[in-house]
Structure 1
Amino acid sequence: MTDTTTDTTTDPATSGHALPKPGVWPGVLYDDIAAARGFLTGVLGFTEALIVPDENGAVVHGELRWPEGGGVMVGSRRPDAHGGTGTLERAPQWIYVVTADPDAVYERARAGGATVEQEPHDTDYGSRNVAIADPEGTVWVFGTYPGA
C-alpha cells in the first residue's frame, strides 16, 4: 500500500508550497456513464485523469480532475459496484467544488443545456455560488468559498 500522506502537489497560488494530494474523493455512480462524462468534462470543465472500463465497457473506476484542484471518482452503476452485491442507492447529497469564477461555470452550464438548480448568488458566509444538476440529478455546487 502506498503512503499517500507524503505525496504532494504544487499549489501555484502559494509559489511552490507543497500541498498533500487529495485524501477525500467524492464518488458518483451513473446509469449512463458516457453522458455523465460528456457533461462533466464538456460542459462543467472537469478533465479525465483515468478511466478503467471492464470488458463490457462499464466504467469500474474513473477519476476526473477539477482544473483548480481536487477531483471526483465516477463509475457505472451496476450490481457489483465496488465489490458489492447490490446497487448503491442514491442518498441526499450534493458536491461542492471551489472555483474562482462560478459565473463562468454557470454560463458554460447554460450553454450546454444543464439544469440550473440555483442561479449565481452571494451567500451570507461570503461565497458566490451556483448549483447545477447533472443529467442524472446529482447537484454540483460551484462556489468561491475555499473552506475554513
Structure 2
Amino acid sequence: MTDTTSSVKTATVVWPTLVYRDARAAITFLEHAFGFETTASYGEGDVVDHAELAWPGGGAVMLGSVRENMALACQPPGAGSVYIALDDPDTVYARVKAAGAEITKDLTDETDYESRGFTCRDPEGVYWSFGTYRGAQSH
C-alpha cells in the first residue's frame, strides 16, 4: 500500500484560476457578495487580461476574461468550483444571500466531517463553497 500523505511543509500558494464572459462584473460581484479584495487587475475596457483577488483570511483567486489565445483556452467561462475555509460562514452566508447569489446548498452543519457551511453559484455559474472544514488534520 502506498502512503499518499506528506508531512513536508512548503511555501507554495495555490491559486484557483477562473474565466468569465464578463470579468469586470465578476470582480464587482466577488468583492461585494463574498468580500474579496482586488489586489491586481490588468486589461483595457471590458477585457480583463489578468486579475488577482485576495481573500481576507488568506489565499486568493486569479481570473480573466474569455478571449482568443488565452492560457486557459480549454476552460469554458463560468466553470469551476472553489472552497474557502473560514471561521464564520454565517456572516458570509448573509452577505451572499443579500447580494442575490443562487444558494445551491443551504447553510448547514455537516456531522460527517464537523463543518458548518454552504454552497452558492456566482452569476456566471462558478460554484463557491464556504465552510469551517479546514482539511484532515495530521496526528
Q: Distance in 2 between matches of 1:43 and 1:142?
A: 13
Q: Unpaired runs of 5+ in structure 2?
A: 1-9
Which ranges of 4 or more aligned residues in structure 1 deviate by more than 2 Å? 86-93
Paired AA for residue 118 in structure 1: K
Equivalent residue for 1:141, pick from 96, 108, 129 = 129
Aligned-residue RMSD, C-alpha: 2.0
Asked if residue 127 in structure 1 is aligned to residue 109 in structure 2, the reply is no
Asked if residue 28 in structure 1 is aligned to residue 18 in structure 2, the reply is yes
Asked if residue 116 in structure 1 is aligned to residue 106 in structure 2, the reply is no
Compare relative contact order (CA 8 Å, sep 6+) and give the higher one, 1 or 2. Answer: 2
**Residue 23 (structure 1) shift:** 2.0
Residues 1:142 and 1:74: Cα distance change in structure 2 (over 3 Å): same
Q: Unpaired runs of 5+ in structure 1?
A: 1-18
Identical amino acids, percent of aligned pairs: 40
Equivalent residue for 1:59, pick from 42, 45, 48 = 48
Equivalent residue for 2:40, pick from 50, 70, 79 = 50
**Residue 24 (structure 1) shift:** 1.3
User: Does the 8 A contact of 2:18 with 2:80 survive in 1?
Assistant: no
Q: Distance in 1 between matches of 2:77 and 2:70?
A: 13
Q: How does 1:79-94 map to 2 (within 5 A)?
A: 79-82=68-71, 86=73, 88-89=75-76, 93-94=80-81
Q: How does 1:100-111 map to 2 (within 5 A)?
A: 100-111=87-98
Matched pairs, number: 126
Q: Distance in 2 between matches of 1:26 and 1:130?
A: 19
Q: Distance in 1 between matches of 2:78 and 2:133?
A: 24
Residues 1:67 and 1:41: Cα distance change in structure 2 (over 3 Å): same
